Amino acid sequence: MAVIESKEISKVFKASSRGEEDVKGLDSVSFIVRGGEFACLVGPSGCGKTTLLRIIAGLEQPTSGAVILDGQLIVAPGPDRGMVFQEFALLPWRTVVENIELGLEIRGVDYETRRKIADHYVGLVGLHGFENKYPRELSGGMKQRAAIARSLANDPKVLLMDEPFGSLDAQTRNIMQEELLRIWSKTEKTIVFVTHSVDEAVYLADRIILLTARPASVREIFEVRLPRPRDRLHYEFVNIRAEILTALSEEVRQKKG
């Protein structure tokens, strides 16, 4: 089971011109995500949640500190950490199934095999019948399902998701949250999920890592032990949500002040 350890990750953004100061984005962020866990990163806008996720993905390098996955140091992107983006990032000139099998194609898997695998994931994310459509023919929710299938088809250890439902309307968003949980239960991957929405975090996650305002460090880690599917009106749900929201608004106020 994949264990992600973030060890004192710091990130300094260098000033782009003279007279500007270096900006410290992340300040010694440390946390652990246990294997098979669904973890959410939550924090004030612009605190660096996405930067942190990208460092775990290997798309950016920390200024100091390290990310360790199953004992291995992360230095670059790789198929062991799949990533799902808010903009979906599907290749528009490829059909759904061609997008999904892309990772397998890169790894040299032969046509027959990768089609079979891709078809399996098409079914898993509920896109049966849409395999040969182009992304422009899909709705936002369907595109994101395809993106998730694409990452999963590569059989990564970890699935990193950067506000994946941020560009969907509220109804689709709720549907996709349930779909994600369904898919997750079938695949048992470790997930690190970045979101603005505390409600979404409490609905989805086992563990919620709340970051401070910039420069971000870990303010608090919340464990959510409610059984799924969760009831948004259940008092425990409401309590945890309130707790996190309070802490979050303090952070937001501090940033403003």
Partner 1 sequence: MRAVTYRHLRILSALLAVAAWQIVGLLGIFPRHLLPWPTSVLSSLVDLLVSGELASHILTSLLRVAVGFFIAAAIAVPLGIAIGWSKVVESLAEPILEILRPIPPIAWIPIAMLWFGLGLKPAVFLIFIGVFFPILLNTVAGVRGTSKVLVEAVRTLGASDRDILVKVVTPSSIPSIVAGLRIGVGVGWMCLVAAEMTGSSSGLGYMVIYYSGILETSSVIVGMLAIGAIGYAMSYVIERIEGHLLRWRE
Positions in the binding site for partner 1 (CB under 8 A): 57-59, 77-79, 81-83, 85, 87, 89, 91-94, 102-103, 105-107, 134-136, 147, 150-151, 154, 160
217 closest CA partner among 58, 46, 33, 48: 48
Q: Which is nearer to partner 1, 11 or 54 (CB)?
A: 54
Q: Is the Cβ of residue 87 or residue 236 nearer to partner 1 in the bound state?
A: 87
- Minimal distance in Å, beta carbon 231 to partner 1? 34
Q: How far is the CB of 66 from partner 1 (least distance, A)?
A: 19
Sign of CA dihedral 196, 140, 95, 154: positive
Q: Which is nearer to partner 1, 15 or 106 (CB)?
A: 106
CB of 135 to partner 1, least distance (A): 8
- Considering the complex, state which of residue 25 and residue 82 has its C-beta at the smaller distance from partner 1: 82
Least distance CB 246 / partner 1 (angstroms):
34
**Which is closer to partner 1, CB of 189 or CB of 219?**
189
Question: CA 95, CA 90: separation in Å to the nearest integer?
Answer: 9
- The C-alpha angle 131, 108, 122, rounded to 5 degrees, equals 20
Close Cβ partners of 170 (under 8 Å, ≥ 6 residues apart): none
Largest Cα–Cα distance of the chain, in whole Å?
A: 59
How far is Cα 248 from Cα 257, in angstroms, rounded to an integer? 14
- Which helix (H) or strand (E) is 80 found in, with range? none
From 140, 145, 139, 217, select the one nearest 183 (Cα to Cα).
Answer: 145
Nearer to partner 1, 43 or 164 (CB): 164
SS3 assignment, position 89 = coil
Cβ of residue 192: shortest distance to partner 1, in angstroms?
13
Nearer to partner 1, 134 or 237 (CB): 134
Shortest Cβ distance from residue 45 to partner 1 (Å)?
20
Taking the CB of residue 20, how many other CB atoms lie within 10 A of it? 9
CA dist 55 and 232 (Å) reads 32
Q: Which whole-number Å values give the CA distances from 138 to 44, 188, 236, in the listed order? A: 32, 27, 37
Rounded-to-integer distance, Cα 6 and Cα 176, Å: 28
Query: Minimum distance from CB of 24 to partner 1 (Å)?
Result: 24
